[in-house]
Amino acid sequence: MFKITPKLHEKIQHFARFPQTGVSLRQMVLFGQKPSQASLFKASQFLHEELPIRLAHRVKDLEELPRYLSEMPSILKVKDWYAQSFQELIELPPPRLSREMKEKLKHASKNASQTIPPCVPNPANVHLARPHLEARLMTLPIGHRYFNPVEDIRCSPEVLTYTDSFVKTIEGVKRRHDPVVTTVAQGILEYKEHRKPQVVDTEVEKFLDRFYMSRIGIRMLIGQHSTLYRGPFRQDYVGVICTKTSIREIAQDAIANARYICEEHYGLFKAPEVKMFCPGDIEFMYVPSHLNHMIFELLKNSLRAVVERYGSDYEDDYPPIKLVIAHGKEDITIKISDEGGGIPRSSLPDVWAYMYTTAERQELEPEFNKSEFKAPMAGFGYGLPISRLYARYFGGDLKLISMEGYGTDAYLHLNRLSNSDEPLIM
Ligand code: ADP
Ligand code: MG
C-alpha cells in the first residue's frame, strides 16, 4: 500500500512552490515535427522537471479543499495517485548526457538557432526562477532550450535507455490516472449529498476547473511524448496533433455517433437530423480527439433537448439541428443550434457546474470505466464544463445562448493561431 511519508510530503510542498511551465500547441508541433533521439531526449528532460511540479501543485490543491471534502476516501485515493506518480518521477535519475553527446547537441542548437521561428521561446517562461533546477539549466531560457528543433543526431545507447525507461514511467503514470475523473466526481457527489447545497459551490467549481484543466495538460504532454517516441507515425500528424484536422470529417463522425447513441437511448428509429453547413474543406492544426469530444457532447445535448421537447412519437418531424462552421482569420467557430426549447435564463450559470444535470443521474462506475470518461446520452453533468475546458486549453472558448421556449445556440470557438499559452491556473 502506498503511503505519503512526511519526507515525501515535504518534497511535494517544495516542488509545489515552483511555477508550472506552459507549452502551446504551436510549440508542440514545431518541436515534434522531426522527432530525433536528441529532441526526444530534451523533451524527457523537460518533462522530468515539469511533470513533478504539476503533480505537486495538484496534491497541494487537493489538500486545500474544504476539510470535509479533502478527507473523502475517494479524494484521498486520488491524492495518493498524484503523490505516487510524483515519487516515481523524482526517483527516476535525471537525464544526463555523455560529454560527446553534449558537444553534438550544443553544436546542433547553435546551428538551429538561426532558423528558430520567433514564436518558439515562450516569453512568459523566460524569467521563471526555479533555483533547484537552475543548476541543471544552461543559459538559454526554458522554452527555448527544450522546444528547439535540433537536427537529428545519432545517440549513444545511454541516451536510448534513459528515454525508454522514462517513457515507460510516464505511460504508467497516465494509466494510473485514468480513473481520476470518475473518482473525483464520486467524492464531490458524496460531498454535495452531505451538504445538500442549494447553490453552486463556487470554490469547489473553481477547484474542479483547475484540476481537470491540469489533467488535460498533463495527459497531453505525456500522450504527445509517448506517441512521438513510439509512433504510430501517421502522415499529417505530430504526435497526437493533426496539422490538417478536417472539421467536416470530425463533425460527420460526431454527428453519426451522437445520433446513434440518441437512437439507442430513446429507442428511436431515427434521431433528429443534423444539417451541416461547412464552407469548403477547412483544415487546421488541432487534436482531433478533443474536437470530436466537444462536438459530440454538444450534439448529444441538442438531440436530447429536441427529443424530450417533442416526444418520441414525433420522429419524422423533429426540427433539424444546425451545425454551422465559420472560418475566420483568428477563430474557427462551430455553432450548434437546436429547437429544443432552450434553457431558462436563471439556470444558465448552473449548466457549467460539474454534475449539474436535468437528466436522470447516471451511476458512476470508475472500475468499469477506466480508460477515459465516456458519458452516455446524458446524466453526468460533465459534458459542458469539460468541453469548455478542452476549448480553452488551446485558447478557444465555449458559450451558450438560449431562447427559452425556442432553442439553444452553442458557440464553440477554436483559436486558429494556436500559439496561445497553455492556461495554467496556479
Ligand atoms: P448532461 O448532458 O449530462 O446533463 P451537460 O453538462 O452536457 O450534462 O449539460 C448540463 C445540462 O444543461 C443538461 O442536463 C441540460 O439541462 C442543459 N442543457 C445543455 N445543453 C442544452 C440544450 N442544447 N438545450 C437544453 N438544455 C441544455
Ligand atoms: Mg450532456
Topology of domain 6-233, CATH: Butyryl-CoA Dehydrogenase, subunit A; domain 3 (1.20.140)
pLDDT of amino acid 22: 87
The residue type of 232 is P
Tell me the pLDDT of the chain averaged across its residues. Answer: 83
Q: How many CA atoms lie within 13 A of 204 on its CB side?
A: 21
Banded model confidence at residue 136, pLDDT cuts 50, 70, 90: very low
* Catalytic residue flag (residue 293): yes
User: For 118-122, 152-156, 320-324, 407-411, which range has the lowest pLDDT when averaged over its residues?
Assistant: 118-122
- What are φ and ψ of residue 332, in 5° steps? -105, 125
Ligand 1 and 387: CB distance under 6 A: no
Q: Which tens digit of pLDDT belongs to each residue from 295-310?
A: 999 999 999 999 999 9
Domains 6-233 and 241-415 alike in fold: no
Q: Where are the domains of the chain?
A: 6-233, 241-415
Of 297, 322, 335, 422, which is the active-site residue? 297
> Which strands make up the sheet holding 321-327, listed edge to edge?
274-277, 321-327, 331-338, 407-415, 397-403
Show the cell assigned to 51: 511533470
Looking up cell 451522437, which residue turns up? 258
Strand-pair partners of 250: none
DSSP string, 24-44: -HHHHHHHHSS--HHHHHHHH
Q: Which tens digit of pLDDT belongs to each residue from 57-106?
A: 999 999 999 888 899 999 999 999 999 999 999 998 877 666 666 676 66
Q: Are strands 321-327 and 274-277 parallel, antiparallel or unpaired?
A: parallel
Q: Which tens digit of pLDDT belongs to each residue from 365-411?
A: 654 444 454 557 888 899 999 999 999 999 999 999 999 999 999 99
> Which residue owns the Cα nearest ligand 1 atom 18?
301
| Cα of 351 from ligand 1 centre, angstroms | 6
294 vs 31: which has the higher pLDDT = 294
The structure's pTM equals 0.85
Closest CA to 214 of 29, 377, 374, 426: 426
Cα–Cα separations (whole angstroms), residue 307 to 104, 110, 278, 322, 424:
63, 62, 25, 15, 39
* Spatial contact of 18 and 416, defined as CB atoms under 8 Å apart: no
pLDDT of amino acid 157: 66
Neighbours of 91 (CB within 10 A): 8
54 vs 229: which has the higher pLDDT = 54
Ligand 1 and 343: CB distance under 6 A: yes
Of 48, 300, 322, 413, which is the active-site residue? 300
Banded model confidence at residue 184, pLDDT cuts 50, 70, 90: very high
Ligand 1 and 216: CB distance under 6 A: no
Ligand 1 and 149: CB distance under 6 A: no
Closest CA to 300 of 357, 354, 345: 357
The stretch 40-55 carries a mean pLDDT of 90
Cα–Cα separations (whole angstroms), residue 76 to 63, 308, 387:
9, 39, 26
Strand-pair partners of 409: 337, 401
Closest CA to 146 of 228, 38, 15: 38
pLDDT of amino acid 423: 78
The stretch 167-180 carries a mean pLDDT of 95
Share of the chain above pLDDT 70, in %: 80
pLDDT of amino acid 159: 66
Q: Which tens digit of pLDDT belongs to each residue from 192-239?
A: 777 765 556 888 899 999 999 999 999 999 999 999 988 778 889 999
Closest CA to 284 of 312, 341, 245, 322: 245
Q: Which of 351, 361, 362, 364 to mutate to test the pocket of ligand 1 (most atoms within 8 A of CB)?
A: 351
Q: Which tens digit of pLDDT belongs to each residue from 323-348?
A: 999 999 899 999 999 999 999 999 99
Topology of domain 241-415, CATH: Heat Shock Protein 90 (3.30.565)
Show the cell assigned to 4: 505519503
- Is the per-residue pLDDT at 275 higher than 90? yes
| Cα of 348 from ligand 1 centre, angstroms | 10
pLDDT of amino acid 210: 94
Show the cell assigned to 417: 493561431
Looking up cell 533547484, which residue turns up? 132
pLDDT of amino acid 151: 40
CA dist 211 and 406 (Å) reads 35
Share of the chain above pLDDT 90, in %: 56
